[in-house]
Structure 1
Amino acid sequence: MTKILNIVGARPNFMKVAPLHRAFRTFPDLESKIVHTGQHYDARMSDVFFNQLELPQPDYFLGVGGGSHAQQTARIMLEFEKVMEAERPEVVLVVGDVTSTIACALVAVKMHIPVVHVEAGLRSGDRRMPEEINRILTDSISDDLFVTEQAGIDNLRREGVPNEKVHFVGNVMIDSLVHYRRKAAETGTVKNLGLEPGSYVVMTMHRPANVDAEEGLRSILQIVEDTARYKKVLFPIHPRTRTNLEHFGLADRLNAIANLQLMEPQGYLEFLDLMEHAAVLITDSGGIQEETTYLQVPCLTFRDSTERPVTVELGTNQLLADLNPVTVHEKLVEILEGKAKKGVIPPLWDGQAAGRIAAVIKEKYARK
């Protein structure tokens, strides 16, 4: 039996590991276990995500909690080393670009256990982002790199990674979207809110560069106020964003905006239903860029650059380099007037990426 430890640390990881865990279980000679580091942990939201994605309870919960990047990395490494000593897996699988990804990859490599990185090769070009450092370092020490788009192949080639390590397999985030799209519709989230498809805008904002300074928050408020003149705005508000609004004395201005509905962070299925029927998404998220591209819903992303360029080159995503309310207003009006950027679904974003990954791992690592 070939044992695989799948690492999750934050909610986006759940959506990536769920289809992989399902795919591994189709092979009787692969044993798939889940390690949740607890890097981002909210009992209610974690339970919701695990239940909705039909994941079993993690085999290990490390409970590392918050702290600085250095503190989290150190605690994850210390706790994961104990798991590695107990389990002695054949493969450690890490996904994405969170602190848990690089921390667990480092432990595995130092113990001479192969590491495979799902969603490899993505680069924003912005080394001020902790996620960018995590991507680069994880790719440099991984044994196999599973890539979602052509840009990932190009980046790894430029960095001198041997071709035999790189596998273009598609996007496991889209696997989850395809698998749960009908179930998301069955939640009736949009209908239960009394909304019609296309009658609202969804907004999410959580990146420190956008929400940690008063200037950025004031721009976000202006964007919400301007957008709410045209459509109802649904704003599932991130705890970091809410805390900073209160810190800078801006919460009352937010609460006073007419045609705005503030919401708690949503479960995966509920948010998928909201995305699918929105007129436009306004966000600074990474994953939403991919999901809206597949759903062919317009997306305005507040980032200087994106590690997912296919969402701009082929998809419905548009980058906005700064939180300029005037620029957002112009783009929003274009979209609402029916002049939205048209996109296509990228190659291999077909809901079958996890199966391709499982086949490669079985072929390379399964005991003969």
Structure 2
Amino acid sequence: MSSAPNSTVEPGAEVVHIVGARPNFVKAAPVVAALESRGIRQAVVHTGQHYDDRMSAVFFRELGLPRPDVDLGVGSGSHAAQTAALLVGLEQEFTNRSPAFVIVYGDVNSTLAAALVAAKLHIPVAHVEAGLRSFDWSMPEEVNRRVTDQLSDLCFATSPEAVAHLANEGIAPESVHLVGNPMIDTLLANLDRFDVAALRGTRDLPDTYVAATLHRPANVDDPATVARLVARLHEVADSVDVVMPVHPRGRAAFEAAGLGDHPRVHLLEPLGYVEFVTLVRGSTAVVTDSGGVQEETTILGVPCLTLRPNTERPITITHGTNRLVVESELPGLVAKILAGDALGGTTLAEVPPLWDGRAGERIAAVLAGELG
């Protein structure tokens, strides 16, 4: 079945989904639905890594996810403290449940902890969104996804280059499945809910705006970096309104740097899934450091300026609207976009392979085969 020495699966047993942060919920929803349609018993364990209603519960409501069977409530903390709490809580949960498969998503600390606990308990692990690589070891997410893939029995890849990365790292080919992107399943399933005109009314938004979302440590932890970002965003706002839902992780830093002092910068609380993707859909361009937003803009055809030196999702550059930038480039690039310049790589060329809204079904089919 795979490269990991886990136990034989008993037919009819339960699979357990591990979710902890908002990107996990969006990816899990189509997989949960597809497994349910096949009559496979499943449970959802929410680790509580994201615990604010606007970062967590609203996603369950909007995406039709079943109420979590368990909420471990680990909360925030340092990587060590949070991961330690996850290891303890998940070990108890898996010991009590004895799942046939543990399904993990993405690259957050909850994903790494669940894979590690399951592997040591000889429970098979399936990793959704396997094989993504930034090759930047300073990113905690890079550590998480590499270790998780080595511990996984099934690696579900979203793109061809992810399959190649797994092969280069010695993952058994029979363990790897190119299935497409379940985050795009969720986006396509909800397209008719992304009503830009309605959002402009409820949020009092201008007709033309740039959406921004920033939360990664490299962009929000150093006050000097934040000050430079704020200065550039204010330059952008001299030409076009900037609308930014502020992630809790960076709120204090951005407020201290005076981000909201510009009259054309509109700061919002974190948005639920439908409101946020609607905000992106209606924007002229997006400034972000989020992985998921790079993928969503690729499908929505919105120019995406990613404030990072690298991306684990290069297919969003070759097949989508994404472009890696530094903060000094923002005002000039936004001005070009406003003038109608496509900026080369920010023109939607073609949809990446298998990003067709059926990734959840493909994942469920493979899991059903394993479950017998």
Q: TM-score, normalised on structure 2? A: 0.93
Match of 2:341 among 339, 342, 352: 339
Gaps of 5+ in 2: 1-11
Residue identity matched to 2:322: N
- 1:226 Cα deviation after fit: 1.3
Q: d(CA) in 2 for partners of 1:177 and 1:116? A: 22
Matched, 1:215 2:224: yes
Q: d(CA) in 2 for partners of 1:73 and 1:201? A: 36
Match of 1:277 among 267, 273, 282: 282
Q: d(CA) in 1 for partners of 2:15 and 2:247? A: 33
- 1:177 Cα deviation after fit: 0.5
- 1:7 Cα deviation after fit: 0.4
Residue aligning to 1:175: 185
Q: d(CA) in 2 for partners of 1:339 and 1:4? A: 48
Q: d(CA) in 2 for partners of 1:186 and 1:234? A: 14
Q: d(CA) in 2 for partners of 1:243 and 1:292? A: 27
Q: What is the alpha-carbon root mean square deviation over aligned residues? A: 1.4
Match of 2:236 among 227, 243, 247: 227
CA-to-aligned-CA distance 1:69-110 (integer Å, 9 cap, x gap): 111111111111111111111100000000000101111111
Matches within 5 A, 1:1-368: 1-28=12-39, 30-185=40-195, 188-195=198-205, 199-246=208-255, 249-250=256-257, 253-320=258-325, 322-324=326-328, 327-340=329-342, 341-343=346-348, 344-366=350-372
Residue identity matched to 2:266: Q
Q: d(CA) in 1 for partners of 2:206 and 2:81? A: 46
Q: d(CA) in 2 for partners of 1:71 and 1:195? A: 40
Q: TM-score, normalised on structure 1? A: 0.94
- 1:239 Cα deviation after fit: 1.8
SS at match of 1:304: coil
Cα pair 2:15 2:43 within 8 Å, conserved: yes
CA-to-aligned-CA distance 1:275-334 (integer Å, 9 cap, x gap): 1111000011111000000111000001110000000111100001x322xx11221122
Residue identity matched to 2:254: L
SS at match of 1:282: strand
Q: d(CA) in 2 for partners of 1:231 and 1:44? A: 27
Residue identity matched to 2:235: D
- 1:43 Cα deviation after fit: 3.3
Q: d(CA) in 1 for partners of 2:57 and 2:159? A: 31
Residue identity matched to 1:245: F
Alpha carbons of structure 1 residues 296 and 138: separation in structure 2 relative to 1, 3 Å: same
Alpha carbons of structure 1 residues 4 and 187: separation in structure 2 relative to 1, 3 Å: farther
Cα pair 1:203 1:234 within 8 Å, conserved: yes
Cα pair 2:213 2:290 within 8 Å, conserved: yes
- 1:240 Cα deviation after fit: 2.2
Gaps of 5+ in 1: none
Q: d(CA) in 2 for partners of 1:74 and 1:218? A: 34
Q: d(CA) in 1 for partners of 2:13 and 2:282? A: 42
Q: d(CA) in 2 for partners of 1:80 and 1:184? A: 36
Q: d(CA) in 2 for partners of 1:185 and 1:319? A: 28
Residue identity matched to 2:361: G
Q: Greater shift after overlay, 221-230 or 91-100?
A: 221-230
What is the aligned-residue identity percentage? 46
SS at match of 1:40: coil
Cα pair 1:216 1:323 within 8 Å, conserved: no
Q: d(CA) in 1 for partners of 2:338 and 2:327? A: 19
- 1:14 Cα deviation after fit: 0.5
Cα pair 1:187 1:270 within 8 Å, conserved: no
SS at match of 1:188: helix
Question: How many pairs align?
Answer: 357
Q: d(CA) in 2 for partners of 1:353 and 1:2? A: 23
